[in-house]
Amino acid sequence: MSMTRDSIAVVVGAVLAVLAQIVIAPNIALFSAMPNFVMVYALLVAIVRPGTAGPVLPFVLGLSFDLFSGSPVGAMAFLLVLVAFAASRAFAALDNDTLFMPLLIFVVSALAIEMLHGGFLLALGYHAGALDAFLYRALPCALYDCVIGLILYPFAARLLSATAPAQPGTTRLR
């Protein structure tokens, strides 16, 4: 198995996302909302590389999130695999070379993951009401994730793009 430059960039980004989740996220939490760097990265990879994004990266990132955050093991792994697949297929079908579509797909996917994760927590015995879980935990976390994703999308589009940049004096065909 040969590691290409693109594969190495994705793996290094995944390691940085896990480290950011462990070190940075608890320190920048606002009230009960803590960003989910792992989810943001998995969705960005699924949107930026829709043809090559597979289920392994979201599963591993979700499992690492579950192990480090104390949430039910497998919940985030399942949700990331499911929603990252849906986001990559949606982007492949709806891509129109504008900035609106990837950002819309990201926002909808982040909101879906946080709401479904809140549902998992309630179903597995999280001691809160449904309104508290969704309104005071899932919605603020989703908004926080969206802000971070919107900031990081241009960097991910540039660094994780599966196509090589065009050489000077040549044109790149899609």
Domain boundaries, the chain: 5-159
* pTM tops 0.75: yes
Closest CA to 73 of 128, 111, 121: 121
Q: For residue 46, count CB atoms less than 10 angstroms from its CB and return exposed for 0-12, middle for 13-18, buried for 19 or more.
A: buried
Q: CA–CA separation, 10 vs 25, rounded Å?
A: 20
- Please tell us whether the domain made up of 5-159 is placed in CATH 1.10.3470: no
Please state the length of the chain. Answer: 174
For residue 33, list its beta bridge partners: 30
> pLDDT tens digits, the chain, 174 residues: what are they?
567 888 888 999 999 999 999 999 999 988 878 999 999 999 999 999 988 878 999 999 999 999 998 888 999 999 999 999 999 999 999 988 888 999 999 999 999 999 999 888 888 887 778 888 888 888 999 999 999 999 999 999 998 876 545 445 544 444
Q: CA–CA separation, 22 vs 156, rounded Å?
A: 20
